[in-house]
């Protein structure tokens, strides 16, 4: 066995001792589920192959999806699962395409703060022998800030949809704040609609081909007109949101600073953050020195929607040793109507071995 | 050892390629019987002409089986992962222009930009239960482009030909395809989005990084001087 495989088995055994049940997952996963979840981008990151009978299949890029699916088909509650095995990701030159993951997932309905704290503390304990920097964040606070903007439901939904695409999110926010002129084609369409109704424009445009019908086009035109009549998002709110995105520091300090802003919409999310910090204190984590970065988890952890965390090597050329977080929305999507709050994470034993040291 | 030059084996692309080399003092010609894929180069000693399908030239360059190759810049970017690590762009040749564009039905009066397409994709998915389909054969280029522009909730469906017809046939809602005049799009009731094209392609002379350049060092010096190509770093040897 390689050093990484030995370490993976060792970590898995510790998770089992802590009460987690070992689960396995097929290496070949149906591509459709993963594509629907992550979007077409995952093709650039995962290996896609073709089965003559089953269609497109993917070499598993992670365990989370199959573990959630297995749980949804009749797991007891609450449930603690652990697993270890290879995952496959397309990479830039120089990074491993096939590497081990050891994971721990907790499905529990009651007391999400305690569940978050349990998972983080478990990872902190497993990794305690290594020189790593922990970092935490909370996508729930960003979502609460967006939900609290003084603007239309449609605009909030558009921002919410792009929380995990920071560049796009910023562009949308700037437009909604009325910064810069309207795109010329949009301005032209709005002018045309003042002269003639949508139905006339449709007639003039010639034959309509394809599945998207006139009713759907008219619906979007109505939405555009509504949007054009919506006042800009107040500049103070945009500044506050951007300030929030750049916050980083000790978790308790960040929580206090956010409270001090007196932003009503954030209160429930801040209550959850502080309940989590209390639970982390109870679990033996020093939350006054625990780093918190408001933007952490916004780029490549698309399914996390609440608490997020990572353990980062002190060397910049290394991928994160461990990442994780809460993914309640993912279980709703995969459960087809059923949902179960879930939090979990993974460790990369290969990276730990490359770093050397450790217990 | 000969320096191998791969050029398209037929059609206008071949003729224009021959013309381009002629203006640089090299005579490329096909030899042998009409249908035989053999050729010769006069003007610089030690250059061997390899006639290939334009779509195979990127792969041959990447493998280092030819030193130089002429093909569309779109094909290199689409076929080769991290193309700059595998080939060097030596000269844009000024012909074979075509734009890879995203097009939607002209009757979509509410869609003129990628922003619109993204919003429509979200609504489409919510309504139909599947992601908005974009037909193309340029999967890598289109995916990278849409990712860079933050478009979500779409899927790429493969179309190797007659891509403009896929919308009418209800196998796609939008397309991404090569166009030079836009006439086929027009005829199929489609319009191009206002954003910059996915890629503006033209015939390009590429050098392989993997080919054995050491064995042809002298020929390379003479040839590059004739072609007006400056010093190129990163070639093997």
For the residues of A78-127, what is the DSSP string, one character each? SEEEEEEEEEE---STTS-SEEEEEEEEEE-SS-HHHHHHHHHHHHHHHT
**Confidence band of A93 (pLDDT split at 50, 70, 90):** low
- CB distance A149 to A233 below 8 Å: yes
C-beta atoms of A168 and B189 within 8 A: no
Distance CA A58, CA A30 (A): 6
Q: What is the CATH number assigned to the segment(s) B3-96+203-227?
A: 3.40.190.10
C-beta atoms of B122 and A161 within 8 A: yes
Report pLDDT digits (tens) over B62-106: 999 999 999 999 999 999 988 999 999 999 999 999 999 999 999
B154 min Cα distance to partner chain A (Å): 7
pLDDT at B82: 86
Residue A94 burial (10 A CB sphere; 0-12, 13-18, 19+): exposed
Q: Does B99 touch chain A (CB under 8 A)?
A: no
- CB distance B212 to B236 below 8 Å: yes
Residues of chain B with CATH 3.40.190.10: 3-96+203-227, 98-200
Give the side-chain half-sphere CA count within 13 A for B217. Answer: 4
CATH 3.30.43.10 fits B98-200, yes or no: no
Q: Does A189 touch chain B (CB under 8 A)?
A: yes
B112 min Cα distance to partner chain A (Å): 6
C-beta atoms of A202 and B123 within 8 A: no
Report pLDDT digits (tens) over A128-172: 999 999 999 999 999 999 999 999 999 999 999 999 888 899 999
- CB distance A182 to A254 below 8 Å: no
pTM for the model: 0.89
Peptide bond into A78 cis (omega under 30): yes
Of the CATH numbers 3.30.420.40, 3.30.70.3340, 3.40.1180.10, 3.30.930.10, which one belongs to the domain with range A1-131+339-359? 3.30.930.10
A:340-359 residues touching chain B, CB 8 A cutoff? none
Task: Assess whether pLDDT exceeds 80 at residue B33.
Answer: no
* Sequence ranges of the domains in chain A: 1-131+339-359, 151-234
**Confidence band of A301 (pLDDT split at 50, 70, 90):** low
Chain A CB contacts of B149 below 8 Å: 168
Tell me the average pLDDT across A329-342: 86
DSSP run (H or E) holding A277 = helix A267-282
Distance CA B168, CA B172 (A): 8
C-beta atoms of A217 and B156 within 8 A: no
Residue A113 CB neighbour total at 10 angstroms: 19
B:124-163 residues touching chain A, CB 8 A cutoff? 124, 127-128, 131, 139-140, 143-144, 146-147, 149-150, 152-156
Distance CA A205, CA A284 (A): 66
DSSP run (H or E) holding A49 = strand A48-51
Distance CA B49, CA B93 (A): 18
The interface predicted TM-score of the complex, written ipTM, equals 0.87
Distance CA B174, CA B158 (A): 12
Of A40, A171, A202, Cβ closest to residue B155: A40
């Amino acid at each position: 066995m390689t050093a990484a495989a030995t370490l993976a088995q060792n970590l898995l055994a510790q998770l089992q001792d802590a009460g987690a049940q070992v689960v396995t997952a097929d290496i070949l996963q149906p591509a459709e589920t993963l594509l629907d979840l992550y979007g077409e981008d995952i093709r650039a990151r995962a290996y896609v192959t073709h089965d003559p009978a089953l269609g497109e299949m993917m070499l598993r890029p992670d365990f989370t999806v199959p573990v959630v699916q297995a749980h949804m088909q009749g797991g007891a509650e609450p449930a603690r699962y652990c697993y270890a095995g290879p995952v496959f990701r397309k990479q830039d030159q120089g990074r491993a395409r096939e590497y081990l993951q050891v994971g721990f997932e907790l499905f529990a309905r009651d007391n999400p703060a305690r569940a978050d704290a349990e998972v983080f503390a478990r990872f902190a304990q497993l990794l305690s022998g290594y020189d790593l920097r922990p970092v935490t964040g909370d996508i729930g606070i960003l979502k609460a800030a967006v939900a609290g903007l003084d603007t239309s439901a449609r605009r909030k939904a558009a921002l919410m949809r792009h929380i995990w695409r920071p560049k796009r999110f910023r562009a949308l926010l700037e437009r909604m704040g009325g910064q810069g002129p309207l795109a010329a084609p949009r301005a032209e369409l709005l002018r045309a609609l003042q002269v003639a109704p949508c139905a006339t424009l449709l007639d003039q445009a010639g034959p309509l081909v394809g599945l998207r019908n006139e009713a759907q086009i008219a619906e979007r035109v109505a939405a555009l007109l509504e949007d054009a009549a919506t006042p800009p998002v107040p500049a103070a709110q945009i500044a506050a949101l951007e300030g929030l995105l750049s916050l980083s520091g000790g978790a308790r300090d960040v929580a206090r600073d956010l409270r001090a802003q007196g932003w009503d919409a954030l209160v429930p999310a801040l209550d959850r953050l502080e309940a989590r910090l209390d639970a982390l204190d109870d679990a033996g984590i020093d939350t006054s020195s625990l780093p918190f970065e408001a933007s952490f988890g916004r780029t490549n952890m698309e399914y996390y929607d609440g608490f997020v965390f990572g353990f980062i090597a002190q060397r910049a050329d290394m991928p994160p040793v461990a990442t994780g977080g809460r993914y309640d929305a993912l279980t709703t999507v995969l459960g087809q109507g059923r949902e179960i709050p879930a939090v979990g994470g993974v460790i990369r034993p290969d990276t730990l071995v490359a770093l050397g040291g450790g217990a | 050892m000969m320096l191998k030059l791969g050029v398209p084996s037929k059609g206008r692309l071949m003729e224009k390629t021959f013309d381009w080399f002629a203006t640089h003092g090299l005579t490329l010609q096909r030899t042998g019987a009409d249908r035989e894929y053999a050729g010769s180069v006069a003007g610089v000693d030690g250059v061997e002409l390899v006639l290939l399908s334009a779509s195979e030239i990127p792969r041959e360059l990447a493998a280092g089986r030819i030193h130089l190759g002429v093909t569309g810049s779109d094909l290199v970017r689409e076929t080769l992962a991290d193309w700059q690590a595998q080939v060097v762009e030596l000269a844009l040749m000024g012909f074979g222009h075509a734009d890879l564009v995203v097009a939607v039905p002209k009757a979509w009066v509410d869609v003129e930009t990628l922003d619109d397409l993204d919003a429509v994709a979200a609504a489409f998915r919510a309504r139909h239960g599947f992601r908005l389909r974009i037909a193309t054969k340029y999967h890598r280029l289109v995916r990278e482009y849409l990712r860079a522009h933050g478009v979500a909730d779409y899927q790429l469906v493969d179309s190797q030909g007659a891509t403009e017809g896929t919308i009418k046939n209800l196998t796609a809602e939008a397309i991404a395809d090569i166009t030079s005049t836009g006439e086929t799009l027009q005829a199929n009731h489609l319009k191009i989005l206002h954003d910059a094209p996915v890629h503006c392609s033209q015939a390009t002379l590429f050098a392989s990084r993997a080919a054995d350049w050491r064995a042809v060092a002298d020929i390379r010096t003479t040839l590059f001087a004739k072609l007006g190509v400056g010093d190129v770093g990163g070639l093997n040897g």
